[in-house]
Chains A and B, each alone.
Chain A
Amino acid sequence: MNKNLTLTRRNFIKAGAATGLLLANPVFSMGRKPPLGRVVIVGGGYAGTTAAKYIRMWSLGAIEVVVVEKSSQFVSCPMSNLVLGGTKTIDDLTFGYDFVQKNHGIQWAQDEVTAINTQAKKVIMKCGELNYDRLIVAPGIDFDYAALPNLMTKDAQQQIPHAWKAGWQTVNLRKQLEQMPDGGVFVMTIPKAPYRCPPGPYERACQVASYFKAHKPNSKVIVLDANAEVISKKGLFQKAWKALYPNIVEYRPNSAIVSVDVATKTVITELDQVKAEVLNVIPPQQAGKVAQLANLLEPDYPWCEVDFLTYESKVAPNVHVIGDSVSSGLPKSAHMATSQARVCASAIVELMKGQSPDPAPVFANTCYSFIDDKLAMHVANVYRYDAPKKIMVPAEGGGVSANASAQEGVYAQAWAQNIWADVLT
């Protein structure tokens, strides 16, 4: 076995059984170092898994890739609001990693990272350690409960779900909505931007309202937004609320949450107190835990600064950050995470070959939102590297749908199938 890879026996077997590749892969089975070195990727979400696949593809197998991910399944956050609306189940959004592992010879450790030593270029996990030549940190978001300490416990989060990472939290919120009597009030709170998925909260308001309209028509959706206005697809969401849910959705801007009373499901804002039957607090967010462990956050902004040509961290050499944890004006979306992952993958392949990456990357982003069970709308932009500013800026010509439509509802489903297939096969 490669001497750089010290996994405990139990974990090794788990990873081996999952991929079938630790032994089957000709490069590693002979104990040879892969010719260009090893990349370790922490996080198997949209960003991390995409980076793993494309590094293997574009290096023609010459870079060894090990992904460390604590979950055994991939659960898609995009489309998870439809679980609340009732047109999808969480099982429709849950996938295995076996295809992508086998198709691309990606090594996999199902484990949790406990520390990162960027000096020694080493990732320490519960069940072993991994040395890397380059590290990619793709941990998504972490919730920042500093201002909402009584929501910190698992128990509080059971009663007041965030449902902002898809999984049992989503199922929990759907169950609460199902159990709520007609005439009840659903309250959701939106943190100050930036947060994961800018249009997501407004789509959620539509999905819950769509469920109420069909099944509990006397119920209300109250949206308490810490922002001064709807921050994505504003005109389109306002139009949807007015046209489809005039007596259901009530939107209140500038309503930052000050505290929450868990027992009575009451939200206290600066000006108001709102009591809910079902309460969904989307907490303020910051770069994921592993980015914190590696000290990659800016001193007074909880996101990670990177070089947009390579996604290399501004504070730790040979460590790259992609996806929601990146500090940028870019939307924290799944498509964006995959676009960043591919720039990073392409750059890492070139750097490890001793060559230079593309000096002016360009990529696309799209976010679809469903306003009921069928109608969807998009925001889409191309982003280009701006050399003087050293950031990615939106190119001219992007924009939003003229109207939500059933045709875009179909295309949005196609988007999901294609991005899942791209990331996971």
Chain B
Amino acid sequence: MHLHKYEKIWLTFGLGSLALFLVIIGFAAFWKGTHPMSHIETIDPQNVEAHESFKPENLGLREVAEGKYAVNIVASAFNYNIGTDADGKPVKKIRVPKGSTVLFQITTKDVVHGFQVAGTNVNMMVEPGHVSRLETVMKNAGEFTVVCNEYCGIGHHQMFATVEVYE
């Protein structure tokens, strides 16, 4: 099969850039640990309370060490259960200081949901039978909307929360 000279140059350049590009994302993934969220841990979706992290009293924000937090959430159509506050009211806002490390752990009792803290790198699918888990450093202060970004039913657009990162 005959290749034109210019086509050879074009393809060599293209394949070279492609190889470089793949090396970069491979390096970032395997050496810098920037894989997308791929936590592997199963759970019974009919009985999520059996899991230590998703017992009703363990839901919500906890400081696990100096500057380190964990947030446990149970998603269901069309709500994120982030525990209750001192008055027994459902929590809708997660507040953490700027620069803190936050571990999000979330699962669902019913259908597939999404969990994105818009404006940050926290974006993961939440699927029945699996635990999704992602740790991140909240570097910027501000109010971030948490949205369910996987269609979960006709109330999908009413499923949200807020993360506030304060100075």
Physical interaction between A and B: no
What is the interface of chain B, defined by CB distance below 8 A to chain A? Answer: none
What is the interface of chain A, defined by CB distance below 8 A to chain B? Answer: none
